[in-house]
Each structure stands twice: as structure tokens, then as C-alpha cells.
């Protein structure tokens, strides 16, 4: 293993290229811009194409076309740009194309946008939410593999902190499994046989007149249920005898995990839970981890979004209380004053004391 000191945005781009990504299109917006910069610089040398699209609408369209040929392709943006891409996201999902999306969010305000599909229709994207660059590199490889395996878009939910932190990581090339056969990819070979391919979001096939939206829709829902039972991932620490659990996601969880470890060393019966996949949300494992706890504190830097999934997971076993909040720097990039271990320590101590006192009473 060889380690090097790399900034997050560069690590994401290099991991994507190593994972076989050969097409990338994007439109600048901080902190996604930095990923785009590295792709523009490095992808052509790897035999790929990176287009500086004229808009997010066009970036996602270009990725759609590239995916249709069977190539590994990706795009990305920030919440605003992803909002523009939503019409295409939902159709690409229904067309079952393996898109990878780099969401370099401005903080944690876009949990709903990512986990609820975001666009029209009845669909989900797999959302991988790394805590640090080391995990993000694994997630990039995983994202392309899962996208191909499930024929479903996969999003990496990163942020400014992930893109701009430097870490010592291993970026040496990984052996790549052969790409799964893509019988559906367009190459013109079936033209004129009556069976040419039609990549569409309605379940249309050549030769068959009309569509059957209901059975197509049901088939997709079946796939989402299988993804839910197969792909939920979670990280937990010290939950066995915990009285209180602090839950967090993404880079903010790194601060929370640090504080929980510190408090554990000092004898607090506190545990830590982090959903690694925001969708599918690891509901069963979360419920399991929270068995016997008196309260779950949800530390997220927004008005309270993930807490809905936490409550749906706990199903009333324990109360979930919001302990994060809105916290932003003046630039709006989402690195606010709550991202501070001293403040988190103070929040956790206060809530722990309240719960412990209630137990004693």
C-alpha cells in the first residue's frame, strides 16, 4: 500500500478514473467545481472525455447519452445544480441507466433532495455518504459497481469539507472486475432486425406496440425493495450498553464520532450510529443498535431531515431528538460553527445528563 497526501476533490476524480469512468460532464459550482477541474485535467489522458457543459441540464443529458452506449459515466453538482438535473435523474432512473452522481453539497441541507429521489416519479437513488476521503475513495469504486449491478443511479453525497480536506490515502490502482455485460447498450448492431434497442423510461420495447406502465412501474419498485434489503450500510460504535446514542451522517459524523469516543474513554455510556447509505436507510440495523437506549440524539446541520428516517427506523422504541441545527459559514458552503468538537461535546454532555437524570428518577 502506498500512501500520498491528497485533497479530497482530487482523490474523488482519480478514484473515478481508476474505477473506469470514461465520460464526465459538469458545470462549475463550488465545491463541485474542484472535482470537475480534476476530471477535465485527468480524464482525457485516460482515454476519456470530460465536457465543460453549458449548463447542468446539458451535463446530465450528455452523461445520459454516454451511459446509453455502455460507458461508465458520471456528472455532479451542488444542490442547486442537482435541482436542475432532477427531470433527467428520474427518467434516467426509470430507463435503468447506471449513472454516478457527485453531489458536493453545501453542507447538509440536501438530505431530502438526495434521499427522496428529488424529481418527479416514484424512484430512489442509492446514496453513499462518506465520512472522510479514505472512505470516499472506496465509495467511488462501490458507486460504479453498484450502479452497474443494479442498473440504478448512485450518488456520492460529499461536501465542501470532503472536497477540501487533505488526507493521507491510498490511491494506487485497484484491480478492476470486468464490467458486467451490457446487452442493452446501443451500438447499432441490431438495427434493421426488428429488435433495435430503445432506451426509454416507459418500458417500451421494439416490435411491441404500446406500453404497460403498471407492470413496468411494479418491476422497478421490486428492484428498489431488493436494493433496500441488500445495500443498507451502517457504522456503529459502543451501542451495546449505551444509554444515549448520537447519530450523524457524512463529514459531520467525524466530529461526533470523535467526541463520543472521547466521552466513552471517560466512562459515559454513550454510543454512536452513522448511516453510510442514506438510501437505503439502514433502518433495521439502526433499530437493532438502539435497543435499550433511552434517547437518540440526531446531530445534523439542517432544520431536521434525517431525523424523520431515524424515527421511522426506531418505530417508537426510543425518542429521537434533534441536537444539531442550522449552521453555516458566511459563504454558505456549510462549514459552520457547529462543526466544532468542543461545541459538540457540550451538546452531548448536556443531553446525556438530561437523559441520565431521567433514568435515575
Partner 1 sequence: MSVIDTTRPPSEPARQKWDTRPKLLIDGDHDLCPGCGEPIALRCMLEVIDEMGLSQSAIGAVGIGCYTALTSLLDTDMVQCLHGRAPSVATGIKRMRPQSLVYTMQGDGDMVNEGLQEIIHSAARGESITCLLLNNGVFGETGGHMTATTVIGQRTKNTLEGRDAAYHGHPISMTDLLTPLGGVGYVARSTVTTARDIQRTRRYFRKAFETQVAGKGLSFVEVLTMCPTGWFLPVQEGPSYLNETMSPVFRIGEFKVDGQIFTPGA
Judged by the rule CB under 8 A, the positions of this chain that interact with partner 1 are 22-23, 25, 49, 51, 53-55, 57-69, 71, 73, 87-88, 91, 95, 186-194, 196-202, 204, 206-210
Strand 3-7 to 166-170 pairing: antiparallel
Nearer to partner 1, 46 or 199 (CB): 199
Shortest Å distance, C-beta 29 to partner 1 = 18
Please report how close the Cβ of residue 202 comes to partner 1 at its closest, in angstroms: 7
The residue (of 199 and 321) whose beta carbon lies closer to partner 1 is 199
Q: Which CB atom, from 27 or from 157, has the smaller least distance to partner 1?
A: 27
In the structure grid, which three cell numbers stand for residue 303, read together? 432544520
> Smaller CB distance to partner 1: residue 202 or 356?
202
Closest CA to 246 of 257, 235, 254: 257
Q: How far is the CB of 136 from partner 1 (least distance, A)?
A: 25
Contact present, 49 and 73 (Cβ < 8 Å): no
Alpha-carbon distance 193 to 190, whole Å?
6
Q: What is the nearest approach in angstroms of partner 1 to the Cβ of residue 210? A: 8
Nearer to partner 1, 180 or 332 (CB): 180
The torsion region of residue 158 among left (phi > 0), alpha (psi -120 to 50) and beta comes to: beta
Q: Bridge partners of 49?
A: 23
Smallest distance, partner 1 to C-beta of residue 74, A: 12
Taking the C-alpha atoms of residue 104 and residue 151, their distance in angstroms, rounded to an integer, is 23
How near is the Cβ of 56 to partner 1 at its closest, in Å? 11
CB 55 within 8 A of CB 27: yes
C-beta of 92 vs 290, nearer to partner 1: 92
Closest CA relative to residue 133, chosen from 258, 13, 297, 23: 13
What the block records as the C-alpha cell of 78 is 451542488
Chain centroid to Cα 290, Å, comes to 23
Query: By C-beta, is 52 or 322 nearer to partner 1?
Result: 52
CA neighbours within 13 Å on the CB side: how many for 306? 36
The residue written with cell numbers 463541485 in the block is 32
DSSP structural state of residue 11: H
We find the least distance from the C-beta atom of residue 87 to partner 1, in angstroms, to be: 6
Is the distance from CB of 17 to CB of 172 less than 8 angstroms?
Answer: no
State the nearest-atom distance from the C-beta of 185 to partner 1, in Å. 9
Q: Which is nearer to partner 1, 51 or 283 (CB)?
A: 51
Distance CA 251, CA 130 (A): 7
Chain centroid to Cα 49, Å, comes to: 24
CA distance 103 to 5: 23
Amino acid at each position: 500500500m502506498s500512501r500520498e497526501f491528497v485533497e479530497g476533490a482530487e482523490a474523488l476524480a482519480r478514484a473515478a478514473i481508476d474505477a473506469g469512468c470514461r465520460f464526465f460532464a459538469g458545470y462549475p459550482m463550488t465545491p463541485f467545481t474542484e472535482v470537475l477541474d480534476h476530471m477535465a485535467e485527468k480524464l482525457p489522458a485516460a482515454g476519456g472525455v470530460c465536457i465543460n457543459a453549458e449548463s447542468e441540464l446539458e451535463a446530465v443529458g450528455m452523461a445520459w447519452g454516454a451511459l446509453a452506449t455502455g460507458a461508465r459515466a458520471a456528472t455532479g453538482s451542488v444542490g442547486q445544480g442537482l435541482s436542475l438535473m432532477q427531470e433527467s435523474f428520474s427518467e434516467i432512473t426509470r430507463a435503468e441507466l447506471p449513472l454516478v452522481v457527485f453531489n458536493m453539497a453545501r453542507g447538509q441541507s440536501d438530505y431530502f433532495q438526495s434521499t427522496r429521489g428529488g424529481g418527479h416519479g416514484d424512484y430512489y437513488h442509492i446514496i453513499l455518504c462518506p465520512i472522510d476521503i479514505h472512505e470516499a475513495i472506496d465509495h467511488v469504486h462501490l458507486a460504479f459497481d453498484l450502479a452497474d449491478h443494479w442498473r440504478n443511479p448512485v450518488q456520492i453525497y460529499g461536501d465542501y469539507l470532503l472536497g477540501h480536506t487533505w488526507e493521507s490515502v491510498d490511491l494506487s490502482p485497484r484491480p478492476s472486475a470486468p464490467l458486467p455485460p451490457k446487452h442493452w447498450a446501443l451500438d447499432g448492431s441490431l438495427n434493421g432486425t426488428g429488435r433495435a434497442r430503445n432506451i426509454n423510461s416507459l418500458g417500451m420495447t421494439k416490435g411491441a406496440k404500446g406500453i404497460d406502465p403498471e407492470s413496468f412501474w411494479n418491476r422497478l419498485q421490486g428492484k428498489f425493495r431488493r436494493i433496500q434489503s441488500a445495500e443498507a450500510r451502517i457504522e456503529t460504535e459502543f451501542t451495546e450498553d449505551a444509554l444515549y446514542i448520537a447519530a450523524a451522517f457524512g463529514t459531520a459524523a467525524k466530529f461526533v464520532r470523535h467526541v463520543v469516543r472521547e466521552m466513552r474513554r471517560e466512562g459515559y455510556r454513550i454510543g454512536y450510529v452513522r448511516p453510510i447509505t442514506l438510501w437505503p436507510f439502514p433502518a433495521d440495523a439502526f433499530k437493532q443498535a438502539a435497543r435499550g437506549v433511552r434517547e437518540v440524539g440526531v446531530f445534523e446541520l439542517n432544520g431536521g431531515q434525517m431525523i424523520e428516517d431515524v424515527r421511522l427506523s426506531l418505530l417508537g422504541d426510543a425518542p429521537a431528538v434533534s441536537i444539531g441545527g442550522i449552521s453555516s459559514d458566511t459563504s454558505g458552503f456549510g462549514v459552520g460553527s457547529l462543526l466544532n468538537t468542543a461545541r459538540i461535546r457540550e451538546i452531548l454532555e448536556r443531553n446525556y445528563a438530561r437523559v441520565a437524570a431521567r433514568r435515575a428518577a
